[in-house]
Amino acid sequence: ADTDLRLCKYFGLSDGWWLRGQANYDTAIARESLKKVLKKITPCELIAA
């Protein structure tokens, strides 16, 4: 968070911009590596709309 705030201040970006980008990247990598596992999970019907 420290580096994010410093970079955001320097580049004139909103706080959290770099952290959100990193979180999106991490999620994409995890989604790809867990693709087979995630396909086997059945959503809870009480919550699924």
Query: What per-residue confidence (pLDDT) applies to 46?
Result: 85
* Mean per-residue pLDDT of the chain: 95
Query: What per-residue confidence (pLDDT) applies to 45?
Result: 85
Domain boundaries, the chain: 2-39
Question: At 40, which amino acid appears?
Answer: K
Q: Is 16 helix (H, G, I), strand (E, B) or coil?
A: coil
- pTM of the entire predicted model: 0.73
Query: What per-residue confidence (pLDDT) applies to 48?
Result: 59
Mark residue 5 as left, alpha or beta (left: phi above 0; alpha: psi -120 to 50; beta: remaining). Answer: alpha
Please, what's the largest Cα pairwise distance for the chain? 47
pLDDT of 31 strictly over 80: yes
